[in-house]
Amino acid sequence: MPTVKRALLSVTDKSGLADFAKGLAALGCELISTGGTAKLLRDAGLAVKDVSEVTGFPEMLDGRVKTIHPIIAAGVLARRSVPEHMAALEKHGIGTIDMIVVNLYEFEKVAAKKDAPVEELIENIDIGGPTMIRAAAKNFQDVAVVTSAADYASILAELQASGGSLSKKTHWDLARKAYATTAKYDAAITARLASIEVEGEAFKDEPTPLPKVLNIHVAQKQALRYGENPHQGASLYACGDEGIANCTQIHGKELSYNNLVDLDAAWQLACEFSGPAVSIIKHTNPCGCAEQGRLVDAYLKAFEADTVSAFGGVIACNREVDADTAAEMAKLFVECVAAPAFSQQALSILTAKKNVRLVTVKGTVPEELVVKSITGGFLAQSADLLTIDKPAAKVVTQRQPSEAEWAALEFAWKVCKHVKSNAIVYARDGQLLSSGAGQMSRVFSAEIGARKSVLPLENCAVASDAFFPFPDGLEVVVKNGGTSVIQPGGSVRDADVIAAADRLGIAMVFTGLRHFRH
């Protein structure tokens, strides 16, 4: 690969640039730059040639025209191995440019402001930057294109080790990253401008919860051994720095596709609660969940609800795992444990189990789109972040819930949101007792949840993710110990169900919202 003798630097994010440029200069590289970037480099004591000096043409139109010039473009695009290209450069007195260091105007940062006027959005659409990036990437054989400050150190180290050149692999990797950068940039512009309409002579910004253009542009973070089954390929793609996709694994075997799916289900459920809470997930459904005053008590109550299903399950905690909790967890074979952190004592206990996967997770569940692929396209919806609004909930029975029943109903309703539909949840005192999940009939869910319970269901609260279409489902949960019920309401036979509740002497609350999870 050619030696980097001449580099053009023009960046918005100037972090780390001065040191990188000093390293280039120390290798004998001539530096060309523009505007604020040139000033930064001169202030750092570096010799810099302005682009206008190279092109013989001044920057103009408030900086809109700087690097867009045949002399710059030709110096980047000319193939060194093509004699006609090099002869054309010599004829016109144009020098080659061996490296482009460019990052783009921060359009996404401006677009994130809900009140950003159209004029500000347009002015923050970079033109010269993407042009230079794409030109350099097209001629990756001869030109290195650097779009991220995160690459400065490794590039400089390679240049220093090789006497000023980069390998073909590095050129190719940088080119691929460059195209990904411009693709993501264009996607952000497309998505934001899609919400702006022209009415008469005015612009009207109509941002909606769901984008008019769905752009899924996320980098691969990790190749997985396989998908749900060994014959399926799989990879993890991550954006931002929060959530399960960005968890940090601190112990255990490699995470699998199914591990990540279950970890996400467990983490989302644990994050529903403000007090210390533990969720235990098996095949995306909760087999245990509890919120208690101490994390260890939450774990023990979550575990005792279904000790059989908990074997080989996935656990999430919304607090740092302490030694007491870790000691109890260590008695059970589990696939994974997720938490914001682990104490040193907890780590020493859990890492004694060679295969258990331990991950730390930042943030709670973000407000983001839920996207699923279907044949021929995608479905997108906003995340189900609502829970019971007690003042807005409606008690529809003659008997009012007691304070203890209200607390149990609120807990059950949070858990119910995370059980696959049709969902019935039995709960009491901040503890999931049992659940019926994923049945075609709500009555079957109610019966299965009661039948598999190992804890007594007397005087428990019951949550149903959607309305009871007939009194029969309600009668099943009451027969098995339910004394208070929370459900959305909205059936054409609500009156019949309410009458049955009054006849059975229970308290029933309508929330007005449902929690289907397919």
C-alpha distances out from residue 229 to 225, 260, 267, 337, 374, Å = 10, 14, 23, 22, 19
Output the CA torsion 499→509→281→271 (10° steps): 170
The H-or-E segment that residue 314 falls in is: strand 313-317
Any residues with CB less than 8 A from the CB of 37 and at least 6 apart, and which? Answer: 9, 10, 11, 14, 17
Catalytic residue, from 22, 69, 253, 283: name it.
283
Active-site position among 22, 49, 85, 138 = 138
Question: Taking every pair of C-alpha atoms in the chain, what is the biggest distance, in angstroms?
Answer: 98
Known catalytic membership, residue 283? yes
DSSP state letter for 324: H
Report yes or no: 38 and 66 within 8 Å, Cβ to Cβ: no
Bridging pattern class, strands 334-339 and 357-360: parallel
The reply to whether 138 belongs to the active site is yes
β pairing state of 460-464 and 424-428: antiparallel
Place of tokens 């029969």: 472
CB 210 within 8 A of CB 381: yes
DSSP string, 378-407: EEEEE-------TTT-EE-SSSPPPHHHHH
The CA distance from 474 to 470, in Å, is 8
d(CA 249, CA 430): 30
Neighbouring C-alpha atoms within 13 Å toward the C-beta of 336:
30
Q: Give catalytic residues, as residue numbers.
A: 138, 283
